[in-house]
Amino acid sequence: MNIKEIIRQPEGRRLEFKEILPENADLANTIIAFANDAGGELYIGIRNNPREIVGLPEEELVSTEEQISNIIFDRCYPVILPDITFLTEDDKHIIRVTVYRGSALPYYRKDKGKLKGTYIRVGSSNRLADGEIIAELERRKRNISFDSELIMDKPASELDIENFKQEYQDKAGGILDIQTLRKLELVKEMNGTEYPTNALVLFSDDELRRSLFPFVKVECARFKGITSDEFIDQKSILTNIATQAEEAYNFVLRHINKGAVREA
């Protein structure tokens, strides 16, 4: 794709345009956000509104490249190694900074630290990551999912999963014994004790689920007319996640108006 095709694209998750070299902190935030996400490209020398190539002075290209490299090295941690290239279009000079998706997540600002200096890409802007997002980035680094993380508050044998066992038997036609739980990686051993994963806790009807995940529920409502001023019916579905979808579906079915037309 040539530069004229690129500049017709909107700024977004993996693309940003700057007329001049951004301030040190802004540049570092963008590089970090790209590295924490899917990578991206920053083009310097392109005006965003209206979108046009304005270019950079040719005699300043090398010094600007060095400045970009120094900012990234001095302000970003762990080390980010972008590709910095010079482009020329209609005798105008552009710098392209290509950042690849990082493997040492999370990346953050050295001067602010991980908790206050981790940035992610949201649309065409850089946003400060909260604790949950930082934890997700760290899981991605370890190549594990939220579902597979262990909960060590209670052994798996003490977890109330009787309803889930019945649901599993009804839907899958099998017995949800300890061997099956291991095979599905819903339990894992740690220091001789088998503990449940987040997934198994969510499938349970245990008080542990309600204390750890109080917002894992489905809120259903039917309103009178086309506004939300008056309820006709409302239900909070607080069961385990194995049955929440079906209960929500049944709520919808209960309120679907059914009719028939008889033709002579």
- pLDDT tens for residues 191-221? 889 999 999 999 999 999 989 888 899 999 9
Give the whole-angstrom CA distance, residue 200 versus residue 192: 19
Which residues does 98 contact at the CB level (< 8 Å), separation at least 6?
39, 40, 41, 82, 83, 84, 85
Residues 17 and 128 in one domain: yes
Whole-model pTM over 0.95: no
Residues 101 and 19 in one domain: yes
Structure tokens at 123: 């649309």
**Average model confidence (pLDDT) across the chain:** 91
Q: Measuring CA to CA, which residue among 257, 232, 235 is closest to residue 247? A: 235
pLDDT digits (tens, 9 = 90+) for 128-180: 999 989 998 998 888 888 898 888 889 999 999 999 999 999 988 889 999 99
Give the whole-angstrom CA distance, residue 176 versus residue 241: 16
Give the whole-angstrom CA distance, residue 87 versus residue 83: 13
Residues 249 and 233 in one domain: yes
Q: Is residue 263 part of a domain?
A: no
Confidence of residue 24 (pLDDT cuts 50, 70, 90): very high
Q: Give residue 241's domain range.
A: 218-254
Residues 177 and 127 in one domain: no
Q: Is residue 69 part of a domain?
A: yes
Distance of alpha carbon 196 from its chain centroid, rounded? Answer: 24
Cα distance between the two ends of the chain: 63
Residues 114 and 19 in one domain: yes
Q: Which amino acid is at 62?
A: V
CA-CA-CA-CA torsion sign (136, 138, 140, 145): negative
Total of domains in the chain: 3
pLDDT at position 80 is: 96
